[in-house]
Amino acid sequence: MKFFIDSADLKELRDLAATGLVDGVTTNPSLIAKSGRDMLEVVAEICALVKGPVSAEVTATDHATMLAEGRKLAAIAPNVAVKVPLTPDGLRTCRALADQGTPVNVTLCFSPAQAILAAKAGAAYISPFVGRLDDIGTDGMQLIADICQIYRAYPAIRTEVLVASVRHPVHVVAAAKLGAHVATLPPNVLRQMYQHPLTDKGLAAFLADWQKTGQSILG
């Protein structure tokens, strides 16, 4: 499973990229707004920081303007993936950009039927939002299971399942079990994945025993 970081915070991204665990980044208008900076500049800096795909989202809702915005975003760097909403105009834009060789991330997916349409439109990624479905009393991970099952039935589909709206490590593990290709994680969720009380307890015991020997590996 690939890990993308869902953030536009350059400080956070530099810190996490240094771990070697980050395969890409996703952004959206809300994350860009939170940064308080110019969108194009932020996307360019992220693209220079991360080798993998960086999703940058259009803000228009009509096809013609979405396509123009998508082309402008794609021109920022070779690793930009243009993100479009799962609407009729968004899917039309997806098809046009994909035909031009631009990878497209279709976002705000909440049903298997929508995921089928995104694959038909040539999406490089489909972003089902598991946390938001959980919030309304629906099983978000069932959506991931359904999409993965459908895509596996058609080997010609190249669309990768990018699990979004991830709230905790349990979402990540469940998605990995189902065979999802990517999970896009808020920085805190990736950090939570390191944590286990028995790891901390075991390390403390090892270090205490080592200290008693009076040795140093570095001499």
Dist. CA 116–CA 38, nearest whole Å: 34
pLDDT of residue 135: 97
Dist. CA 83–CA 85, nearest whole Å: 7
Q: How far is CA 134 from CA 14, 90, 131, 164, 179, in A?
A: 31, 25, 5, 12, 20
DSSP strands (E only) in the chain = 2-6, 24-26, 54-57, 80-85, 104-109, 125-128, 160-163, 182-185
Q: Which of 2, 83, 177, 212 is catalytic?
A: 83
Q: What is the number of residues in the chain? A: 219
pLDDT of residue 96: 98
pLDDT of residue 219: 85
Dist. CA 125–CA 54, nearest whole Å: 12
All domains in the chain, ordered by first residue: 2-213 (3.20.20.70)
Tens digit of each residue's pLDDT, the chain (219 residues): 999 999 999 999 999 999 999 999 999 999 999 999 999 999 999 999 999 999 999 999 999 999 999 999 999 999 999 999 999 999 999 999 999 999 999 999 999 999 999 999 999 999 999 999 999 999 999 999 999 999 999 999 999 999 999 999 999 999 999 999 999 999 999 999 999 999 999 999 999 999 999 999 998
Burial (CB count within 10 angstroms: exposed 0-12, middle 13-18, buried 19+), residue 6: buried
> What one-character DSSP code corresponds to residue 164?
B
**pTM of the model as a whole:** 0.95
Residue 135, beta-bridge partner list: none
Other beta carbons within 10 Å of 59: 12
The encoded tokens of residue 24 equal 């890409």
Is 120 annotated in the active site? no
Listing DSSP states for 48-63 in one string gives HH-SS-EEEE----SH
Dist. CA 156–CA 50, nearest whole Å: 29
